[in-house]
């Protein structure tokens, strides 16, 4: 895939994610209150949380598109895009199911949308999250021995998807809807399909929990072997990955106990913690997952992850510049133009053109100071030295200043200045 095609595909996925989230939010606002059972809070958020999580979820395809555009062969960018797409599909299908089943029952596919939303999110997001930790940041496994973890995650996701998608009975978070694709039958005259699918779910959750914890351990191994910059990049990623994995592992453990005691052993349900605490843990895991791309973005800006800081610099500068000019235009210049038209009968757009370069310079300076401090300080140091060079006449002081500037801006292991003797042709050399 050439870079142009990769960029087109990545940003097209971003548009799809944005449309899915916008439609989900619209359907949420059009749907009345939905009856909930304990543990359903993750499926249906309040209006404020719905908007917040929707905006945060767009950070995944945004960061993914930036990485895929710069490095189309690195799977990290495409995994970020995939996370955004999976989350968008889950949010849209859930919102559509609520609207179709409660507000407008004439709409087709309400039960099918509910069926998709109950398993695609937990299974798909857990799988891609595991691969993201295994491959971050260079897109390669730490070693060939980690392939078993990748295959275990894939097998666990497939087993859990089959077990959840075809289990007969009410849908999770839609207890009034029977699974439209439930598989009811008897195997070998002894075991029911319900028991088989429950066993597959238990196997899938066990493999996913083990592979997720192993993937987090692989990040700690990378951290121990990494250099200075890569260590900082991994630390930013781990700030979000650790709470997400810990909370997700606790949730998977609870689900495993529920499947084992209730569905396989037909006993009483075993709960590790009350439902109120489970809601808190789920919210922590959800927000930790949503801020992973935000912390990755910080690693890109501050520690030159993937060397796309220049692209982001230009995006920040010209995006902020465009937003500022549009705000100024519609907020003030339109009013001034109307007054100008009333007075002279003519229009003037020179004000926007005149504001472009001064605003661009100010925004560029602010972003350099905030996100590119090392580059900004080096530039300021060179500018100050250039101004001093015009007035300095003492060769010894000038030599010391030059060596100091080189040390400060380039930070070499060693620097020295050699001046030719007076008998030689005039000139200087540095090395």
306 pLDDT band, cuts 50/70/90, is: low
**Residues of the chain with pLDDT > 90: what percent?**
13
CA dist., res. 161 & res. 299, Å (int):
33
Residue 378 has pLDDT above 70, yes or no: no
Residue 21 has what pLDDT?
92
> How confident is the model over 307-364, as pLDDT tens digits?
555 555 555 555 555 566 556 555 555 565 566 566 665 555 555 555 556 666 666 6
> How confident is the model over 261-304, as pLDDT tens digits?
777 776 666 666 666 677 677 777 777 787 888 888 777 766 66
CA dist., res. 94 & res. 81, Å (int):
20
Helix 110-135 to helix 75-102 angle (10° resolution) is 160
CA dist., res. 381 & res. 316, Å (int):
24
Tokens of 103: 């507000």
Residue whose token pair is 């999770």: 172
Residue 319 has what pLDDT?
55
Residue 348 has what pLDDT?
53
> How confident is the model over 20-37, as pLDDT tens digits?
999 998 988 888 766 555
Residue 63 has pLDDT above 90, yes or no: no
> How confident is the model over 242-268, as pLDDT tens digits?
888 887 788 778 777 777 777 777 666
Mean pLDDT of 77-99: 91
User: Which span out of 41-45, 119-123, 330-334 was modeled with the highest average pLDDT?
Assistant: 119-123
Residue 431 has what pLDDT?
45
Instruction: Return the sign of the alpha-carbon dihedral for residues 64, 67, 69, 71.
Output: negative
Residue 421 has what pLDDT?
65
Residue whose token pair is 């499926």: 43
CA-closest candidate to residue 290, choices 245, 252, 249, 244: 244
Beta bridge partners of 174: 171
149 pLDDT band, cuts 50/70/90, is: very high
> How confident is the model over 382-430, as pLDDT tens digits?
666 666 666 666 666 667 766 766 665 555 666 777 776 665 455 444 4
Instruction: Tally Cβ neighbours within 10 Å of residue 404.
Output: 13
Mean pLDDT of 364-382: 58
Which pTM value belongs to this model?
0.67
Residue 290 has what pLDDT?
79
Residue 381 has what pLDDT?
63
* Mean predicted lDDT score pLDDT of the chain: 76
Can you list the domains of the chain with their CATH numbers? 3-307 (1.20.1070), 313-401 (no CATH)
* pLDDT top residue among 228 and 2: 2
CA dist., res. 114 & res. 171, Å (int):
8
Residue 81 has what pLDDT?
92
């Amino acid at each position: 895939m050439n870079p142009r095609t990769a960029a087109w595909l990545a940003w097209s996925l971003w548009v799809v994610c944005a449309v899915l989230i916008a439609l989900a939010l619209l359907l949420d606002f059009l749907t009345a209150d939905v009856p909930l059972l304990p543990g359903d809070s993750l499926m249906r958020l309040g209006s404020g949380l719905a908007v917040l999580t929707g905006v945060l979820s767009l950070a995944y395809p945004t960061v993914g598109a930036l990485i895929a555009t710069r490095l189309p062969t690195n799977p990290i960018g495409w995994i970020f895009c995939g996370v955004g797409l999976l989350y968008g599909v889950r949010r849209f299908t859930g919102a559509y199911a609520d609207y179709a089943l409660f507000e407008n029952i004439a709409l087709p596919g309400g039960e099918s949308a509910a069926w998709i939303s109950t398993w695609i999110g937990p299974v798909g997001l857990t799988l891609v999250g595991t691969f993201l930790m295994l491959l971050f940041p260079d897109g390669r496994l730490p070693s060939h021995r980690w392939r078993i973890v990748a295959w275990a995650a894939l097998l666990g996701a497939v087993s859990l998807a089959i077990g959840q998608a075809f289990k007969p009975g009410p849908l999770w978070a839609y207890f009034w809807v029977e699974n439209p694709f439930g598989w009811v039958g008897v195997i070998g005259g002894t075991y029911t399909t319900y028991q088989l699918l429950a066993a597959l779910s238990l196997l899938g959750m066990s493999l996913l929990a083990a592979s997720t914890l192993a993937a987090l351990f692989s990040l700690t191994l990378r951290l121990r072997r990494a250099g200075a910059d890569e260590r900082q990049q991994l630390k930013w990623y781990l700030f979000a990955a650790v709470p997400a994995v810990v909370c997700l592992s606790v949730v998977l453990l609870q689900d495993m106990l529920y499947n084992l005691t209730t569905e396989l052993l037909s006993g009483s349900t075993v709960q590790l913690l009350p439902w109120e605490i489970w809601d808190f843990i789920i919210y922590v895991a959800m927000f930790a997952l949503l801020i992973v791309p935000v912390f990755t973005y910080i690693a890109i800006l501050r520690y030159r992850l993937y060397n796309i800081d220049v692209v982001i610099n230009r995006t920040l500068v010209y995006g902020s510049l465009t937003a500022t000019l549009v705000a100024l235009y519609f907020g003030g210049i339109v009013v001034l133009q109307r007054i100008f038209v009333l007075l002279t009968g003519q229009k003037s757009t020179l004000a926007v053109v005149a504001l472009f370069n001064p605003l661009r310079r100010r925004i560029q300076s602010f972003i350099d100071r905030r996100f590119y401090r090392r580059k900004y300080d080096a530039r300021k140091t060179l500018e100050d030295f250039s101004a001093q060079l015009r007035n300095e006449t003492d060769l010894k002081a000038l030599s010391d200043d030059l060596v100091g500037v080189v040390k400060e801006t380039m930070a070499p292991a060693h620097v020295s200045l050699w001046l030719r003797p007076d008998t030689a042709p005039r000139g200087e050399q540095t090395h």
